Structure 1
Amino acid sequence: MHQTLSLITSDLSPTKLGFSVLFCSFLLYTVGKMFGFGSRNEFVVEGRTVVITGGSDGMGKAVACQLAAKGANVVIVARTVKKLQEALDDVKASAANLNRQRFHYISADLKDAAQCEQIINEVTEWNDGLPPDVAWCCAGYCNPGFFIDTSVETLRDQMDTVYWTAANTAHATLRKWLVPVSPAEQKPMPRRHLIFTCSTLAFVSVAGYGPYSPAKAAIRSLSDTLNQEVEIYNGARVSGHAAPAADIKIHTVFPMGILSPGFDNEQKMKPELTKQLEAADKPQTTREVASTSIAALERGEYLITTMFVGHIMKGSAMGVSPRNSLIRDTLTSWLSSLAFLHVIPDLRRQAWNWGVKNGLPFTNSK
């Protein structure tokens, strides 16, 4: 997850478009401060149980540590037991109160839907019979490359490890959360949160991410769909019908570049053209991405980006997705519409120029 568009920050300023971008940027931040979310914390985790997939490394581990520091009971899920054990030590070291908080790890292959169900059942048993309050899907990896140079097996694996690990986790979690409770048994409960980790590639495509970005776009589409569907169950809770025990809210985080061991490995595989197209990307640390994401969750945001260029990329592709802030997101969309009048043709031009200079890319059937 590491992409940006160098064009946004390169040659726009000498043009009228550039002045529009600068003006709108200032206006965006000003209005954002004026009309932003209130001070109420919409994502309280103290004393609550959080499951984090992909929690043994990278962003998932950083999220686990920071939520532990806020008082959460944390369960991390990944495949490698040794990495899970080492990560859990770091999570415990971050805890706000070791005497009150609990920590656990589960080794599982999230590509297997049955194992995802077993995870949620195990967490429920470990959590004194109550399902987790928060599920955060961070599992996955990026295998960059040109589409035809990537084997069909790798293309399928990218969909499995990026989209299906998240979809399987969401399916198992929601089936547990949405079990109806009779009106007589219902009582006030804090809202539950399902969080996907996506990528700004779901908003703006970049050559060289053909194996990866379609899976991220699928997550964004699933998120929008579930954002509507959970309202059926939330609505039932206020109408006297049998309904789930708590309201549910969906969120999706769209980071850009994240400095991690996975990022270093991706850089070795990434086509040179792709590196050129995202040359202005300034990857964030896992801690920065985690803290920015958690702060946005505490404001109650739905689609969450972690840096300014990501906000612009999101603005270019909001479509019918719910807005975090009607005024702020509308202004961002206007700004993005101006910027991307230049950006997308420039991306295509750079790819064309690359072909003129270098000929066909080296074909590597993986």
Structure 2
Amino acid sequence: MHPLLSFISYDSSPTVLGVSTILCGVLLYIVSKMLGFGSRNQFVVEGRTAVITGGSEGMGKAVACQLAEMGANVVIVARTTSKLLAAIETMKRVADNVERQKFHYISADLTDPAECQRIMSEVTEWNDGQEPDIVWCCAGYCHPGFFTETSIQALRNQMDTVYWTAANTAHAILQRWLTPISPSKQAPIPTRHLIFTCSTLAFVPIAGYAPYSPAKAAIRSLSDTLSQEIEIYNGSRTSKARCEAPAADVKIHTVFPMGILSPGFDNEQKLKPALTKQLEEADKPQSPQEVASIAISALERGEYLITTMFIGDIMKGSALGPSPRNSIIRDTLTSWLSNLVFPGVIYDLRRKAWKWGVKHGLPTNPDGN
């Protein structure tokens, strides 16, 4: 969802932002794209092993299939075995070399930390005793609704299925990846990647997502924290004393898509308050395949916080704070543009919510759902 588009197209906002500012910002953005990362691929997947949680449908399945096309060995994790089996067959059809690659599925409840430990143990055994090289957290679903109209149990379920599935998975794999080994056993191993899937709602909250947005914001905060902590372990690998250290460097990444067309999105639309739909009416959801492709390309460029469209970049620019930048030039320019746009966006969102209350009354009224 991007209310920013709705705001920019809103007729009564000429005093907030001139057309010339928008055009200049877009031009600066395009130019800065040209000054980004070099051509070296920083996310080589051919012959490596990836674990995708939430890999039976939606974005997770799209990621799994595209990594299979690129030559990776892929393990998908979800609860429903029938969906996992169907996804495995799809991966085999699109695989780069089905005779050389391996595919596996694990049915598990990721809200249970013991299950996440089991997954990593099973994958390591299946992978000839080697830990996976890539772990991509895509599990979770959105239960929209107004805060006071949502049960405490539903609020807890959102934190469990969105934040804790990712945190449990990250904890399980990082404990393995960061286990120190002696210098005599250390050998060159390509960088390992832990990837979270978040949402632009972590940058710009919207009324009607109170059960969901805090969990996504927690993932973003966890990602920022881990991106600092991981440098302790990466630094230990270059110690002149040649002390015990992890087997490989680790990089943390987080993807921030907007709406994604999927079965989960269809269910979300049935629950979504009418006000929320109005606030994000300009949103044009992307296909899972498009989101996966954009995210993988950004990983190949070595990006940390990854958005999947221009409006998402502007949202990110409004909330970068202490997060590491993908590109100092590009992110600085985007942040400047965001600072011009968002005072008006914030006002517009609040005004629309107020006007909705004037017209429909409380959320519990039939017309004000």
Q: What band does the TM-score fall into relative to the shorter chain?
A: over 0.9
After superposition, residues 99-110 of structure 1 pair within 5 angstroms as 99-110=99-110
User: CA distance change for structure 1 residues 311 and 287 in 2, over 3 Å: closer, same or farther?
Assistant: same
Distance 1:60 1:30 in 2: 32
**Corresponding residue for 1:338?**
340
Could you tell me which residue of structure 1 aligns to residue 364 of structure 2? 362
The residue that corresponds to 2:234 in the other structure is 234
Once the two structures are superposed, residues 144-203 of structure 1 have per-residue CA deviations (whole angstroms, 9 ceiling, x without a partner) of: 000000000000000000000000000000001011011111111100000000000000
| Letter aligned with residue 169 of structure 2 | T
Matched AA of 1:79: R
* Seq. identity, %: 70
Contact residue 5 and residue 277 of structure 1 kept, 8 A: no
Counterpart in 2 of 1:18? 19
The residue type paired with residue 220 of structure 1 is: R
Q: How does 1:206-217 map to 2 (within 5 A)?
A: 206-217=206-217
AA partner of residue 88 (structure 1): I
Aligned counterparts, 1:244-255, within 5 A:
244-255=246-257
Is the Cα–Cα contact under 8 Å of residues 76 and 84 in structure 2 kept in the other structure? yes
The SS at the match of 1:5 is helix
**Paired residue for 1:151?**
151
Once residues 4 and 194 of structure 1 are traced to their aligned partners in structure 2, the CA distance between those partners, rounded to angstroms, is 30
Amino acid at match of 1:320: P
Alpha-carbon distance in 1 for matches of 2:342, 2:129: 50
**How far apart in 1 are the matches of 2:318 and 2:20?**
18
Contact persistence 1:137–1:196 (CA under 8 A): yes
Partners of 2:53 and 2:32 in 1: CA distance? 36
Aligned residues: 362
Residue 348 of structure 1 corresponds to 350
Cα distance in 2, alignment partners of residues 116 and 58 from structure 1: 21
Which deviates the most, 4-13 or 243-252?
4-13
C-alpha separation in 2, matches of 1:273 and 1:17:
27
Answer yes or no: is the 8 Å Cα contact 2:3–2:345 preserved in 1. no
Equivalent residue, structure 2, for 1:294: 296
User: 2:78, 2:57 → 1: CA distance?
Assistant: 9
Q: For structure 1, which segment, 161-170 or 16-25, has the greater mean C-alpha deviation from structure 2 after superposition? A: 16-25
Which one of 248, 256, 274 corresponds to residue 276 of structure 2? 274
**Letter aligned with residue 6 of structure 2:** L
Shift of 1:267: 0.6
Indicate how the Cα distance of structure 1 residues 253 and 337 shifts in structure 2: closer, same or farther if over 3 A, else same: same
Aligned to 1:200: 200
User: What residue is the counterpart of 2:44 in the other structure?
Assistant: 44
Q: Deviations over 1:222-264 (max 9, x none)?
A: 0000000010000000001210000000000000010001111
Greater mean alpha carbon deviation, residues 158-167 or residues 184-193 = 184-193
Query: What is the alpha-carbon distance in structure 2 between the residues aligned to residue 74 and residue 88 of structure 1?
Result: 9
Gaps of 5+ in 1: none
- Aligned residue for 1:123, secondary structure, equals helix
Which residue of structure 2 lines up, in the alignment, with residue 140 of structure 1?
Answer: 140
Q: Which residue of 1 aligns with 2:118?
A: 118
| 1:313 aligned residue | 315
Supply the AA of the counterpart residue of 2:171: H
Other-structure match for 1:5: 4
Cα distance between partner residues in 2 of 1:190 and 1:99: 24
Structure 2 counterpart of 1:326, from 300, 321, 328 = 328
Query: How far apart, CA to CA, are the structure 2 residues paired with 1:9 and 1:94?
Result: 41
SS in 1 for 2:52: strand
Task: Tell me the CA shift for residue 5 of structure 1.
Answer: 3.3
The C-alpha deviation readout for 1:95-126, integer Å capped at 9, x for no partner, is 00011100000000000000000000000000
- Superposition deviation, residue 94 in structure 1: 1.2
Mark the CA change 1:3 to 1:77 in structure 2 (over 3 Å): closer, same or farther: farther
Q: Spell out the pairing of 1:42-121 with structure 2 (5 A cutoff).
A: 42-121=42-121
1:7–1:346 Cα contact (<8 Å) kept: no
Deviation at 1:298, TM superposition (A): 0.3
Q: Distance in 2 between matches of 1:58 and 1:360?
A: 34
Please state how far the C-alpha of 1:283 moved relative to its aligned partner: 0.3
Is 1:284 the counterpart of 2:283? The answer is: no
How do 1:215-230 residues align onto structure 2 when only pairs under 5 Å count? 215-230=215-230
CA RMSD in angstroms comes to 1.2
The answer (yes or no) to whether the contact 1:17–1:339 under 8 Å persists in 2 is no
- Distance, in Å, in 2 between the alignment partners of 1:357 and 1:292 is 40
| Deviation, structure 1 residue 48 | 0.1
Which amino acid in structure 1 is aligned with residue 279 of structure 2?
L
Contact map agreement 2:141 2:162 (CA 8 A) in 1: yes
Kept in 2, the 8 Å contact 1:4–1:309? The answer is: no
Alpha-carbon distance in 1 for matches of 2:206, 2:282: 13
**SS at 2:18 equivalent:** helix
Shift of 1:360: 0.7
Q: CA deviation at 1:11?
A: 2.9
What SS does the corresponding residue of 2:161 show, helix, strand or coil?
helix
Partners of 1:19 and 1:346 in 2: CA distance: 20
Whether the aligned pair in 2 keeps the contact of 1:3 and 1:201 (CA below 8 Å) is: no
1:22 Cα deviation (Å)? 1.6
TM-score by structure 2 length? Answer: 0.96
Q: Which amino acid aligns with 1:294?
A: I
1:289 Cα deviation after fit = 0.2
Cα deviation, 1:114-143, whole Å, max 9, x if unaligned, reads: 000000000000000000000000000000
Looking at structure 2, the residues matched to 55 and 188 of structure 1 have their Cα atoms a distance apart, in angstroms, of 29
